[in-house]
Structure 1
Amino acid sequence: MQPRITHLDGMRGLAILLVIAYHAYARWPELLPYAATTQHIPLLAFGWVGVQLFFMISGFVIFMTLDKSSGYLSFLKKRWLRLFPAMLIASLLLYVAGGFFPEWSLMTPESRNLLPGLIFINPETLTQLTGIEFRSMAGSFWSLYVEALFYLIIGAVYFTLGRKYCLPALIVPMLLLSASSVLKSLGHPLLIDVISKFGFIHYAWFMVGCLVYERLHGRDKRYHYALTALALLINFSYYVKNSGVVAVIPLLLVMLFFIASFYSRQIERWLSLRFFTAIGFVSYALYLIHENLMIAILIKLNGYIKNEAVMTMLPVVVASVLYYVAWLISKYAEPALRNALKWKRQPAPQAGSGL
């Protein structure tokens, strides 16, 4: 049993704080007037890199789970039990809460929109395949669709070809995606549209995490660095195209911070502070519920509170309340549901066997 790496829990806490700050102060200026000013503050504007931080953490810890799994199905079961309980609870909470926030259309979901999150398939793909329009219960669910497919792929490679092929296998879909424009011109637009929604462009961050783990355990190879560098170039080109060259700066900074955390005792101690690890403990549940509930509550409050200074402070209050909701989910509801899903019926005791 490998020891838990405390500073990674703290890093999860930091990652969710970055994402919350981005959604509260930069993502929705058209809905929250105060965000028209705060959206230009770099730390808030680039808080979306918290998702890349989550991806690197997942890449780092994935080999721990793979090494402790007896086979592919065992691995998938562990990952499903990790992701599904909180997803089910969060989805139902958002569904029920939707009726209380008619001010925001994204908080008035239909029951069919429960499906993408519960089966971890992005709604665009479901819509393309079925012809029925689906949407996520929350915009933040998109990264879970990316994570789930990553688990399917890396687990299949690990248990069929071996761990040395895991990093090379992750870059294959990235190369396929980068060549999509050529494939599309050959007459397969629907296929490429489906592939483009799988989130392969983000696999570079999983690869960074995997490579750091392999390096710390003395299993890194030179070609691993070349593959990861190529994956990062593909990923950076995507952000440059969509957000401009400036987007590369926060991406590089968060990557260097992640790597440095394993070599700097100061960063490790900082991330191990109780403040960060406590938030890290609830980070998954908080990630699932924070955006829709926080923005919906702030929109409602904005209808009554006309003071911009007060509104600017309210996200901290709302996020704090949601922290405790996430704590209840993480501490009680999620473990209870997970244990129920693990439950196996025991055979009836034989007569005379005692207890």
Structure 2
Amino acid sequence: MQKEKHIIGLDSMRGLAILMVCLYHMFESFFRGYPAFDTNGVLQFPPVYPETAKYFFSFNLRLSIHLFFVVSGYIIHALYSSKTFDIQATKTFVLKRYFRMAPAYYVSMVVAIIGAILFGRFVSDYKDILAHVLFIHNFFDQYSYSIQSLYWTMGIEFQFYLLYALLRFVLKDKFNITYIFIASLLLSFGLRLFYYEPALAEELRWQFMDNTLIRFSDWVMGALLYEHRKIIFQIPYKIVLFIALILIASYMDNFGLASSVFLDATAALGMMLLVAHVLQYKIEPKSLKFVGVMSYSFYLYHFISYSVFDVLCSKLFGYEREPSWERLCVFVIGFCITLGVGYIMYKVIEELAVKYFKKKLK
């Protein structure tokens, strides 16, 4: 099994993405009120969006999910583009990706479940837990956002790996990989058009919402960026184009001027150009690299750690669910605590697990 090479700039992109996710959830908490459990036992924010100006900023932070998937697609294809996917290589690839994700993810599930039990809000059943363990919970509307609402990405990310391995194994370089990626891109956007069809039944819409194929377009754009990086790096003013595309996507979303298919494509393209700019010029600030290295653990624990801190502060000090100086202090301190929790879990769980399974899978 090959040693994973370090690509300068990718850690900073990981760090930026997780900071955007964390700040998005904290921003929502600050303006919408502290999180609470709904009737299904899922930790959610109050279902009231802030006014236009605040939501405009919030949406920009929410676009980080496109950045996550673009970076993931780039990394995986960079590592395996030159490999032949025979049976043994495919098995090794799947096992490696599984043991990279599973240990830290499973431990965070245990922490989340224990927390729910202690708060008297545990309503998951064994089917729910099993679906999460098997990385298939995103296919069930009642499980996709249970335990922790952010876990929907865990299933999709692992399924991306399986889909990539399947494509490489079945096709075995019989076709130009670019054509395969473009076909996958068109299929993904086609499914998005079907998903956003107004006449689609709501129950069926839920089943498509976090479908791997619908989300695969972002991941494929990352893979295409690696495949054609020399050409894309030559595009002038990439950072300017990135800003323009993100502003266009934000404007469309905020005022409902375009379908979400075009909006998602615009946002993903913008993120791809941002990654291209960072990689071309090898931009990797130490602060973003630090966050990027532990981004997985930070992601797994940021929502629950900040939510618990926010709720406890509100109970202890009795402030209202509205912006205030008190909540601003909670915002700042909570962010530092969340960062600390992510770092501790990275050192205690994730880093040790990665080292252990690297040795086992040699």
Give TM-score scaled by structure 1 length: 0.73
Find out whether 1:214 has 2:227 as its counterpart. yes
When Rg is computed on C-alpha atoms for both structures, the one with the higher figure is 1
CA contact (8 A) 2:306 2:337 kept: no
Q: Secondary structure of 1:40's partner?
A: helix
Q: Distance in 1 between matches of 2:328 and 2:28?
A: 11
Partner of 1:317: 333
Instruction: Decide whether the 8 Å contact of 1:26 with 1:39 is kept in 2.
Output: no
Q: Which residue number corresponds to residue 352 of structure 1?
A: none
State the partner residue of 2:109: 91
The aligned runs of 1:218-237 (5 Å cut-off) are: none
* Same amino acid, percent of matched pairs: 20
Aligned length: 314
Establish whether residue 78 from structure 1 lines up as the match of residue 92 from structure 2: no
Change (3 A) 1:188 1:324: closer
Which is further off, 84-93 or 304-313?
304-313
Distance 1:275 1:37, change over 3 A: farther
1:341 Cα deviation after fit = 5.6
Determine helix, strand or coil for the equivalent of 2:228.
Answer: helix
1:169–1:162: structure 2 CA closer, same or farther, 3 Å change rule?
Answer: farther
Q: Which residue of 2 aligns with 1:326?
A: 342
* Map of 1:227 onto structure 2: none
Aligned to 1:353: none
Aligned to 1:59: 73
CA 1:2/1:134 → structure 2, altered by over 3 Å: closer, same or farther? closer
For residues 109 and 324 of structure 1, the distance between their equivalents in structure 2, rounded to whole angstroms, comes to 29
Code of the residue aligned with 1:204 in structure 2: it is S
- Give the superposition deviation at 1:160: 2.1
1:57 deviates by 0.4
Aligned partner (choices 7, 11, 18) of residue 5 of structure 1: 7
Give 1:181 deviation, angstroms. 6.9
Is the contact between residue 16 and residue 283 of structure 1 (CA under 8 Å) also seen in structure 2?
yes
CA apart distance, 1:21 = 0.8
Shift of 1:296: 3.0
Secondary structure class of the residue paired with 1:261: helix
Separation in structure 2 between the aligned mates of residue 252 and residue 31 of structure 1, nearest angstrom? 33
Structure 2 residue matching 1:262: 3-state secondary structure? helix
Match among 245, 269, 287 for residue 299 of structure 2? 287
Match of 1:256 among 250, 273, 287: 273
| Residue range with higher mean Cα deviation, 152-161 or 241-250 | 241-250
Q: Counterparts of 1:156-171 in structure 2 under 5 Å?
A: 156-162=166-172, 164-165=176-177, 166-171=180-185
Amino acid at match of 2:68: F
Aligned to 1:6, the other structure's residue is in SS state coil
Deviations 1:74-96 (A, max 9, x none): 11011101111110111111112
Partner residue of 2:153? Answer: 143
Give 1:257 shift: 1.7
Shift of 1:203: 1.9
1:228-261 CA-partner distances (Å, limit 9, x unpaired): xxxx9xxx8xx85996549847655434322222
Residue 299 of structure 1: CA displacement? 2.2
Deviation for aligned residue 1:18: 0.5
The code of the aligned residue for 1:71 comes to A
| 8 Å CA contact 1:174, 1:201 repeated in 2 | yes
Q: Evaluate the alpha carbon distance shift between residue 48 and residue 312 of structure 1 in structure 2; reply closer, same or farther with a 3 A threshold.
A: same
Report if the CA contact (8 A) 1:125-1:197 is conserved: no
Name the residue aligned to 2:43. Answer: none
| Structure 1 unaligned residues grouped into runs of 5+ | 128-132, 221-231, 346-355
Establish whether residue 298 from structure 1 lines up as the match of residue 300 from structure 2. no
Give, in whole Å, the separation in 2 of the partners of 1:43 and 1:183.
Answer: 27
Report SS of the residue matched to 2:160.
helix
CA shift at 1:289, angstroms?
Answer: 1.6
Distance in 1 (alpha carbons) for counterparts of 2:111 and 2:68? 23
Say if 1:245 and 1:151 are closer, same or farther in 2 by CA, change over 3 A: same
Looking at structure 1, the residues matched to 138 and 72 of structure 2 have their Cα atoms a distance apart, in angstroms, of 23
Match of 2:140 among 116, 125, 144: 125
Q: 2-side partners of 1:90 and 1:160: how far apart?
A: 34
Which range is displaced more, 4-13 or 200-209? Answer: 200-209
**What is the deviation of 1:149?**
1.5
**How far apart are 1:184 and its partner, in Å?**
12
- Is contact 1:116–1:136 with CA below 8 Å preserved after alignment? no
